[in-house]
Structure 1
Amino acid sequence: MKESWRWYGPFDKISLSEVSQTGASGIVTALHEVPYGEIWSRDTIAGRKAEIKSAGFDWVVVESLPIHERIKRNDGKLSQLFANYRQSMANLAAEGIHAICYNFMPLLDWTRTDLAAPVERGGSCLRFSAPKMAALELYVIGRDQARADYPQEVIAEAEKWFQTSSDDDRAELMHSVMAGLPGAYERYDADGLKAALKLYEGIDRTALRSHLQRFLEEVVPAAEELGMRFCVHPDDPPRDILGLPRIVSDADDIAWLLNAVDSPANGLTLCAGSLGANPKNDVPSIARRFADKIHFAHLRNVRKDADGSFEEAAHLTGDTDMVELVSVLLQEEKRRRDAGVEPWEIPFRPDHGHDLLDDASRNTHPGYPLIGRLRGLAELRGVIAGLSRSGISTV
């Protein structure tokens, strides 16, 4: 498995020289400065690739080539947006970059209510509190329909939190949820969020699936011609949020997506944390079922609560059996290598991580500290080495 590291380019507080000391050999990044819907020029791609190469890395996965919100809503004439997307793909392929991780989550890439929840023995983690999210939906933005989306006991806890919270608490909650907005860096207040949500009125699960299928039909044939691997990232969290449908949350969703456009280019980013936040998901089993379609892996772990809350756990101590999951991925690598499949190696990155030691002082992107991810990478490296040496991974 190819050890990789997510890097936010010029926006990252962690330098490539620091990343080099982690031992990772691959970089996962994007042109975050390019507005959604515009073409990634070949010159700009080449410049970023040269910067990565000069630091001793390969640019192994694009995460992500963003999908414009109008495509997700199927809003208006989209031919130019699709054409721009395909041209960006062609420019990436021309520079030798052939893997694209993407998601189809409406409006928010990921959602957390706490960016620095305390963890045992020090440090902090990202957390999703179901009561606090219900409080934001019901009492901060006034989405009364949310009462049907949460159990009564969660709504009771939400009301209790709201009644005892200060203005600063509510502002911090909004800030945490807004941290999941993708690359545009615009953040909404309560009124702005309500206006953004209004654009999705009438778009249910069935409609969003049809919009995703249209997107795949527009880009997967081009990916085949270019020799590219498209790998969808599951929903985070794997449940409807703010009344927005989520359609890549479990094994059935993944099967539907992969069958919607049946192609070797239409694949999966196996995100252990996103899938692991759904109590019904057995992540190693999902990996085993779709192993031949896994083009990229995010390895992280979560610890779930009975009320639907969850938080980032250390990589080896959450609810997912990470050793079993890594074993599945190593077995798939062996199958590909033995069958002469290229590329046979699965790039992975230690996803998220606790803020440890002086991580908090760096003010990095939430979930992407230096030391916390280095700990995760070291733990995963040990698991991979142990399985590989023992031969367990090839049983």
Structure 2
Amino acid sequence: MNLEYTWRWFGPNDPITLDTIKQTGATGIVSSLHHKKPGEVWSVEEINTHKKMIEANGLKWSVVESIPVHEDIKKQSDRWKEWIENYKESIENLASCNIKTVCYNFMPVLDWTRTDLEFPLGDGTTGLRFDQIAFIAFELYLLERNKTGNNYSKKQIEEAHTYFESLDDQQKKQLTNNIIAGLPGGHEEYGLDDFKATLQEYQSIDENLLRKHLAHFLKEIVPVAEFNKVKLCIHPDDPPYTILGLPRILSTEKDVKWLLSTIDSFYNGLTFCTGSFGVRADNDLPGIVKRFGERIHFLHLRSVQRESDGSFYEADHLGGSSRVAEVMHSLLSTFKSSNRIIPVRPDHGHKMMDDLNKKSNPGYSYIGRLDGLAKLKGLEKGIQFSLKAD
């Protein structure tokens, strides 16, 4: 088993440039054609232009993250069949350019969600946080979703109301923007009214129906991936539970088992994100690696610190609740004799040192991820040494 250390790059507009990424020790780039709208075909010409920019800096485009799945596909509405055909063509075009790993997600409306993008962590650094009470306040008093039909307790609703009353207009706007204006990797930016309308479109879609739509999508695209030897790897839900009444279908080990058995192909795989799965205490992360590791094609290694009310924040890469060291040990020991190469990237990072005064995409500061990369590489070396000694 070999790990290929990679780095998320958001294209020419990323404030972190390829020449500085090369200095981190990462050899692979995780990137996307961010100018393309969901559903559009990725042409060979556009793919090669992006690839050549990366290779000109001595790096390799290792993983596509992501080809976004159009909302019509998730709902099976309007032009969804056309978008699936376009998706197939993009996979074929990537394969022709020798790019063979594609990460994607099937989360409705929102990609990943946080309420605070610069949460103070007590040591002078900041990180991302999902505050359950702040989110409830957004849902009930800014989005004005009906209080009936949710699973919030009376105490949570009261705390959310108190929190909401403490916010001034600017703070309310900031909270709204944090949640719905689009985080890195997202492909839609909503205004509040548009967001409400989009949520309405999912009123008749529950988890069972969304699973059927995902299964149909996979039945269409996995044969194309198999033929072209492109490894598809779905990213889990973030956060891994229902929000805003939207169905979530890849949050637990049970969900992973369903996914991999529904289309039993090596090319129907998983992006194993320790941060997303780690939000749930009932997820046995090292165990998932042992049981499903053959189908893990991409690793996002980060940790979250769970809180008792369902809130969480991004912890140090080797701290928090996500058991990253155990996950690494499980991976390296389970596949000790394997020749597989799995791309891994330090996911998210604290803002620290000089980055506190620099512009960066939320969660994607330079020094914070460099810190994570160094720790993960050291962790791997130590575990590899101990396994050889055994």
Please report the TM-score for the alignment, with normalisation by the length of structure 1.
0.95
Task: Please report how far the alpha carbon of residue 185 of structure 1 lies from its aligned counterpart in structure 2 after TM superposition.
Answer: 5.6
Unmatched segments (≥5 aa) in structure 2: none
Contact kept in structure 2, 1:36 and 1:66, CA below 8 Å: yes
Task: Please report how far the alpha carbon of residue 205 of structure 1 lies from its aligned counterpart in structure 2 after TM superposition.
Answer: 0.6
* Aligned residue type for 2:58: G
* Aligned residue type for 1:55: N
Q: Deviations over 1:323-354 (max 9, x none)?
A: 111112223443432xxxxxx11110000010
Q: Find the counterpart in structure 2 of residue 221 from structure 1.
A: 223
Give 3-state SS (helix, strand or coil) of 2:341's partner. coil
Contact kept in structure 1, 2:66 and 2:185, CA below 8 Å: no
Give 3-state SS (helix, strand or coil) of 2:135's partner. helix
Task: Please report how far the alpha carbon of residue 200 of structure 1 lies from its aligned counterpart in structure 2 after TM superposition.
Answer: 1.3
Aligned pair in 2 of structure 1 residues 346, 332: CA closer, same or farther (>3 Å)?
farther
Give 3-state SS (helix, strand or coil) of 1:334's partner. coil
* Aligned residue type for 2:42: W
How many residues of Structure 1 are paired with residues of Structure 2 in the alignment? 388
Task: Please report how far the alpha carbon of residue 147 of structure 1 lies from its aligned counterpart in structure 2 after TM superposition.
Answer: 6.1
Give 3-state SS (helix, strand or coil) of 1:249's partner. coil
Q: Deviations over 1:216-237 (max 9, x none)?
A: 0110011000001010100000
Q: Find the counterpart in structure 1 of residue 276 from structure 2.
A: 274
Say whether residues 1:385 and 2:381 are aligned partners.
yes
Task: Please report how far the alpha carbon of residue 23 of structure 1 lies from its aligned counterpart in structure 2 after TM superposition.
Answer: 0.5
Deviating above 3 A after TM superposition, structure 1's stretches of 4 or more consecutive aligned residues are 179-186
> RMSD across aligned C-alpha pairs, in angstroms?
1.6
Q: Find the counterpart in structure 2 of residue 89 from structure 1.
A: 91
Q: Take 2:116 and 2:257, find their aligned partners in 1: how far apart are those partners?
A: 32
Say whether residues 1:260 and 2:262 are aligned partners.
yes
Q: Take 1:362 and 1:176, find their aligned partners in 2: how far apart are those partners?
A: 19
* Aligned residue type for 1:104: F
Q: Find the counterpart in structure 2 of residue 324 from structure 1.
A: 326
**% of aligned pairs identical?**
46
Q: Find the counterpart in structure 2 of residue 364 from structure 1.
A: 360
* Aligned residue type for 1:213: A
Q: Deviations over 1:164-190 (max 9, x none)?
A: 111111111001102446767653232
Give 3-state SS (helix, strand or coil) of 1:137's partner. helix
Task: Please report how far the alpha carbon of residue 150 of structure 1 lies from its aligned counterpart in structure 2 after TM superposition.
Answer: 2.3
Aligned pair in 2 of structure 1 residues 261, 145: CA closer, same or farther (>3 Å)?
farther
Q: Take 1:287 and 1:151, find their aligned partners in 2: how far apart are those partners?
A: 35
Give 3-state SS (helix, strand or coil) of 1:158's partner. helix
Give 3-state SS (helix, strand or coil) of 1:358's partner. helix
Q: Take 2:183 and 2:242, find their aligned partners in 1: how far apart are those partners?
A: 16
Q: Take 1:126 and 1:19, find their aligned partners in 2: how far apart are those partners?
A: 22
Q: Find the counterpart in structure 2 of residue 104 from structure 1.
A: 106
Q: Take 1:303 and 1:182, find their aligned partners in 2: how far apart are those partners?
A: 21
Q: Find the counterpart in structure 1 of residue 125 from structure 2.
A: 123
Q: Find the counterpart in structure 2 of residue 50 from structure 1.
A: 52
Q: Deviations over 1:84-125 (max 9, x none)?
A: 111100000001000000100001110100000001211100
Moved more, 287-296 or 181-190: 181-190
Contact kept in structure 1, 2:350 and 2:365, CA below 8 Å: yes
Q: Find the counterpart in structure 2 of residue 9 from structure 1.
A: 11
Please report the TM-score for the alignment, with normalisation by the length of structure 2.
0.96
Contact kept in structure 2, 1:108 and 1:182, CA below 8 Å: no
Q: Find the counterpart in structure 2 of residue 341 from structure 1.
A: none
